[in-house]
Amino acid sequence: MRQLLLVFAHPRLEASRVNRRLLDAARSVDNVTIVDLYERYPAFDIDVEHEQRELSKHDVMVWHHPFYWYSAPPLFKQWIDLVLTFGWAYGPGGTAVAGKSVHHAVTTGGGAEAYSHDGRNRYTIQEFLRPYEQTARLCGMSYHEPFAVHGTHRLTTTDIEAEALRYRRFLEDCLHEH
């Protein structure tokens, strides 16, 4: 059975409506290991060797965070910067993560219609996430279409429950993909 590492970053989970529920749904999926970065490293002092060992044990990763200023919260970037090192994840001899799969899971305050070339944000989510896509590719990983929950501020409790169920199914699909 494939193993999935869910790398999660939310700077204020106590105030979260949507991601907190998505994360709860993820906890109920077998073969998923959750790394809650802000809980584990509130001072940004990432244990690089530990994170690299964790990453080596998993076949699939999900990079999960709310969309902040068209990107990720800073601790997620710190994780990328410190963990995906030269000579380990890329460069000469850097093949530790080659062949793994990466999926992105993001939530946005903006509605789906805002993330189009005619919309208020002018670009699609995939376009905003290009640096992450290329980071994954440079390290020899395959990068897939993101799972996105849009218009978070307008979601009712019932809508959020439906999104949590959809996220659970998405994670199960990530585990079963080939």
Ligand X SMILES: Cc1cc2nc3c(=O)[nH]c(=O)nc-3n(C[C@H](O)[C@H](O)[C@H](O)COP(=O)(O)O)c2cc1C
Judging by DSSP bridges, how do beta strands 147-149 and 101-107 pair with one another?
Answer: parallel
Q: In terms of CB distance, is 5 or 18 closer to ligand X?
A: 18
One-character DSSP codes across 12-75: TGGG-SSHHHHHHHHHTSTTEEEEEHHHH-TTS---HHHHHHHHHT-SEEEEEEE-BTTB--HH
Is residue 119 part of the contact set for ligand X (CB under 6 A)? no
Q: What's the chain's length in residues?
A: 178
Is residue 132 part of the contact set for ligand X (CB under 6 A)? no
Q: In terms of CB distance, is 59 or 133 closer to ligand X?
A: 133
Selected binder of ligand X within 4, 7, 58, 66 (CB under 6 A): 66
Among the listed ranges 11-19, 31-39, 78-86, 133-141, the one in contact with ligand X (CB under 6 A) is 11-19
Using CA atoms of 82, 70, 61, 137 in order, give the dihedral in degrees to the nearest 10: -80
Residues 6+ apart with CB under 8 A from 133: 126, 143
Is residue 122 part of the contact set for ligand X (CB under 6 A)? no
Among the listed ranges 65-73, 82-90, 91-99, 129-137, the one in contact with ligand X (CB under 6 A) is 65-73
Segment 19 to 38, residues that bind ligand X, using CB under 6 A: 19-20
CB of 165 to ligand X, least distance (A): 16
Q: In terms of CB distance, is 89 or 155 closer to ligand X?
A: 155
Give, for 108, the enclosing helix (H) or strand (E).
none
Which residues make up the interface to ligand X (CB under 6 A)? Answer: 10, 16-20, 66-70, 107-110, 152
